[in-house]
Structure 1
Amino acid sequence: MKKLMFILIVFQLISCSGTAQKADKTKEKTYRVSKTKAEWKEVLTSEQFYILRQAGTERPFSSPLNKIYKPGTFYCAGCNTPLYESEHKFDSGTGWPSFDRAIEGSVDKDVDYKLGYARSELLCSTCGGHLGHVFNDGPRETTGMRHCINGDALVFEPKKTENE
């Protein structure tokens, strides 16, 4: 009788499934700019496609945008949505362009488990392109956040002066 009870308890425990760990795939976001894989490949460089559409990561210290601090705006390389202002950029020492905040409403967050643990992934809110990740080790005197962004996901437009 004890063996039967033990088997029933083990079976009960094994058959239990928690719903908190199941992803709801029906709530996938639809983005305003949507293209086929072929269409994205036509408008993006191979590096941009790898980053934005395949959630890749560029080598650290490889982007010329890493050292740009002049006034201006960083746009999504996929859809030209303004994402970050240069006034919120800082040198994190990580080798990727880093910002303490995005332009309000321009960036979505998702969860990325590609490394085997949860990270907060950042996506363009207009086209869903992968930008990078957000961490809570940014400047404490501002937001405390570090948006670690792939330079190939961005295009920089300097602020126009009054003479231009």
Structure 2
Amino acid sequence: MENLPKNETEWKKKLSAEEFYILRQKGTESPYTGKFLMHKEKGIYTCKGCGAHLFTSDSKFDSHCGWPSFDKEIKAGVIKETRDLSHGMDRIEITCAKCGGHLGHVFNDGPTDTGLRYCVNSVSLGFESGK
């Protein structure tokens, strides 16, 4: 992975404390607090850790769950899915396929044709406007 931090010490230098907690330690931001929750601008949502393109604004919808939600990734393979049995739950964790940064979870209860709801921490995201 070109120019990406090679270890956790390097990630700590690249990311803020909150970004490190969520992206590298699989944390979760508090619901209804993320800067992208009510964000309506057209563009591309990227991984805050490495800049990989993850979602388009056209795939974003209001799921009323407290975190930004999307119904599909920008293209197959940019998001890795892994079973997550933490906190006494059975969920599917989503991470950036390029840098391994924790994004959130995906659920099979989405209201669109895909039936998916990618529930993502705003802290895990960047945004490129107008794309």
Q: Give the TM-score normalised by structure 2.
A: 0.93
More off after superposition, 119-128 vs 34-43: 34-43
Give the match for residue 82 of structure 1: 53
* Counterpart for residue 159 of structure 1: 130
Query: What does 1:46-61 correspond to in 2, within 5 Å?
Result: 46-61=17-32
Counterpart of 1:111 in 2: which secondary structure?
Answer: strand
User: Which of 79, 99, 106 is the equivalent residue of 1:134?
Assistant: 106
Closer, same or farther in 2 for the Cα pair 1:34/1:108, shift >3 Å? Answer: farther
Gaps of 5+ in 2: none
Alignment length (residue pairs): 129
1:118 Cα deviation after fit: 2.0
Matched residues in 2 for 1:99 and 1:60: separation?
Answer: 16
Which protein has the bigger helix share? 1
What residue ranges of structure 1 are gaps of 5+ in the alignment?
A: 1-30
SS of equivalent residue, structure 1 residue 155: strand
Using structure 1 for the length normalisation, give the TM-score: 0.75
Counterpart-to-counterpart distance in 2, 1:155 and 1:55: 17
Q: Which amino acid aligns with 2:47?
A: C
Matches within 5 A, 1:109-128: 109-128=81-100
Bigger radius of gyration, 1 or 2?
A: 1
In structure 1, what is the equivalent of residue 11 of structure 2? 40
What is the RMSD of the two structures over their aligned residues, measured on CA atoms?
1.4
What is the percentage of aligned positions where both structures have the same residue?
47
Partner of 1:25: none
